[in-house]
Chains A and B, each alone.
Chain A
């Protein structure tokens, strides 16, 4: 993807004024509501006209106020997945899915509808009306509908927002699979840091209609350790749970972790808050916590009373949050050996 944007749009008292160019395949636009994320999405898709500026995608000018160019939305080949799916209510799942596909010239159709339906696991829903679908199913159909139009870029506007808190992350594996298997560039719009880290490599941070910073999503997460109210959360991909008494044993790199939560066969992604990891200088021998991992300190970052300690243990890496006093008392510095202790119940399964 090669997206060059430099636009201004006045909206009553709100003004959007941004300029950036993107080359990453998976980018995110992050910011609180009212920061201009959705406006930008509408401008990119051609659903709104900028007051001034220029938009270029893959070498083609989509909008240029100076040259009076404004390509219509149906000719931009930019897909949009809306917050609430907005499946056409008078069509069944199949007709929804194929709406864009039928309107794509045959030589441009590079995605097979059956294959996509299988990846999204909606092949059994094709004959159903869209009103009987669950939130997650609707969002999967909406994604499929956009992808089948073979767009050059897909914009997703808070696609997980309308979903159940418990289930919202379950759609992520489908998203990841579709975007990697069918190689569609993605611009993911969200105010959720966790979603950003799962879906985007690079993030543009918006605030009050301006682009404030631009950084890798992991870096954004690390900064939240200092500034965010919820602190930093480790995202761990754990494999294949095996029962161990009342608990579950998961593979993580070369080590095993003990968790209370059961998961699905194969890969599971768990969230582990950095402040739920306790560091010990020496092995505590006996502890109520089930996971006692020897680690090496790789680095220290942070400010104020929140210090992040980067750890590696058994091939995996973790970030643990402690206070400055602990750093000096335990003499934590790069290369130091420590023991990380984590309760089995500290892990929260995302998907």
Chain B
């Protein structure tokens, strides 16, 4: 039943790479943005918040198109990157960027909720014990929001595995280069007699997502044991 062609295997491998890269690259930024949104008192915070959350409500195709305008040949950043020999569109990098942008709000939301749940008095205690803000960030906030970061990473990883709209516009659907599982499924559904192959990939997709959720659950349980009061 599970009949995977070499091209399917490539799609699975690409999907895993894209989702992993997008998630890992986003975590530090997500952490900083969440910290800013929760702990820094500055005007203009609502604007930042809106911008971060925009990809959550915009159609992914729109995001893909905007990214294409940004990174394209005649875009804002495209020529600049080109001069360094970096090409974004129709490459794996493009797929990673598309996934990162679309999944970012989910990551930030999750980390943010975790940070908001930290009792302010832990932070006050650490300050009165002589810790500067960055010390408090590293020794109190980071470990206490660990579970939330993990949850956010899971969400983002899963979202990246399923990313379609922005990816197909920015990175295209090139087998072996940017064709991830959803794009491969899309192609199969457009091919006569491709239903069986599409179904196989769907199954793979389900299995991967399930494994990610299970792994998250077990790691987060360990965290909970360590950090509950």
Interface, chain A (partner B; CB < 8 A): 45-47, 72-74, 76-80, 82, 84, 86, 88-90, 99-100, 103-104, 130-131, 145-146, 149
Q: Main secondary structure on chain B at its contact with chain A?
A: helix
On whether the beta carbons of B127 and A74 are closer than 8 Å, the reply is: yes
Contacting residue for A79 out of B119, B126, B128, CB 8 A: B128
Q: List which B117-140 residues lie within 8 A (CB) of chain A.
A: 119, 121-122, 124-132, 135, 139-140
For the complex of A and B, the 7 pairs showing the least CB-CB separation, nearest first, are A100-B129, A103-B130, A73-B127, A80-B128, A86-B121, A90-B143, A90-B227
On whether the beta carbons of A90 and B128 are closer than 8 Å, the reply is: no
On whether the beta carbons of B143 and A145 are closer than 8 Å, the reply is: no
- Note all chain A residues with C-beta closer than 8 A to B135: 74, 103
- Note all chain A residues with C-beta closer than 8 A to B125: 80, 82, 86, 88, 145
Q: How far apart are the CA atoms of A78 and B14 in the complex, in Å? A: 55
In the complex, how many residue pairs between chain A and chain B have their CB atoms under 8 Å apart?
Answer: 69
- Note all chain A residues with C-beta closer than 8 A to B128: 45-47, 73-74, 76, 78-80, 146, 149
User: What is the distance, in angstroms, from B31's C-beta to the closest C-beta of chain A?
Assistant: 17
Kindly state whether residue B228 has any CB partner on chain A within 8 Å: yes
- Output the residue of B127, B128, B143 with the most chain A CB within 10 A: B128
- Note all chain B residues with C-beta closer than 8 A to A76: 128
User: What is the distance, in angstroms, from A111's C-beta to the closest C-beta of chain B?
Assistant: 14
Q: How far apart are the CA atoms of A229 and B132 in the complex, in Å? A: 46
**Can you report 7 A-B residue pairs in the complex whose CB atoms are below 8 A from each other?**
A45-B124, A74-B129, A79-B129, A80-B125, A103-B129, A103-B135, A149-B128
Contacting residue for A99 out of B119, B126, B228, CB 8 A: B126
User: What is the distance, in angstroms, from B65's C-beta to the closest C-beta of chain A?
Assistant: 44
Q: How far apart are the CA atoms of A73 and B228 in the complex, in Å? A: 26
User: What is the distance, in angstroms, from B143's C-beta to the closest C-beta of chain A?
Assistant: 5
Kindly state whether residue B108 has any CB partner on chain A within 8 Å: no
On whether the beta carbons of A86 and B129 are closer than 8 Å, the reply is: no
User: What is the distance, in angstroms, from A75's C-beta to the closest C-beta of chain B?
Assistant: 8
On whether the beta carbons of B227 and A74 are closer than 8 Å, the reply is: no
- Note all chain A residues with C-beta closer than 8 A to B122: 86, 88-89
Known contacts A74-B131, A103-B131; is-contact A88 B228 (Cβ 8 Å): no
- Note all chain A residues with C-beta closer than 8 A to B144: 89-90
Q: How far apart are the CA atoms of A131 and B140 in the complex, in Å? A: 16
On whether the beta carbons of A73 and B143 are closer than 8 Å, the reply is: no
A45: nearest residue on chain B (CB-CB)?
Answer: B128
User: What is the distance, in angstroms, from A130's C-beta to the closest C-beta of chain B?
Assistant: 8
Q: How far apart are the CA atoms of A146 and B126 in the complex, in Å? A: 10
Q: List which B191-229 residues lie within 8 A (CB) of chain A.
A: 226-229
Known contacts A89-B229, A90-B143, A131-B228; is-contact A82 B132 (Cβ 8 Å): no
Q: List which B135-166 residues lie within 8 A (CB) of chain A.
A: 135, 139-140, 143-144
Known contacts A88-B140, A89-B229, A103-B135; is-contact A149 B130 (Cβ 8 Å): yes
- Output the residue of B121, B129, B140, B143 with the most chain A CB within 10 A: B129
A129: nearest residue on chain B (CB-CB)?
Answer: B226
Q: How far apart are the CA atoms of A130 and B144 in the complex, in Å? A: 14
- Note all chain A residues with C-beta closer than 8 A to B132: 72, 74
Contacting residue for B129 out of A46, A89, A131, A146, CB 8 A: A146
Contacting residue for A86 out of B119, B131, B139, CB 8 A: B119
- Note all chain A residues with C-beta closer than 8 A to B228: 89, 131
Q: How far apart are the CA atoms of A76 and B129 in the complex, in Å? A: 10
Known contacts A90-B143, A90-B227, A131-B229; is-contact A145 B129 (Cβ 8 Å): yes
- Note all chain A residues with C-beta closer than 8 A to B129: 74, 79, 99-100, 103, 145-146, 149
User: What is the distance, in angstroms, from A13's C-beta to the closest C-beta of chain B?
Assistant: 22
Q: How far apart are the CA atoms of A84 and B120 in the complex, in Å? A: 13
On whether the beta carbons of B126 and A88 are closer than 8 Å, the reply is: yes
- Output the residue of B125, B143, B227 with the most chain A CB within 10 A: B125
- Note all chain A residues with C-beta closer than 8 A to B126: 88, 99
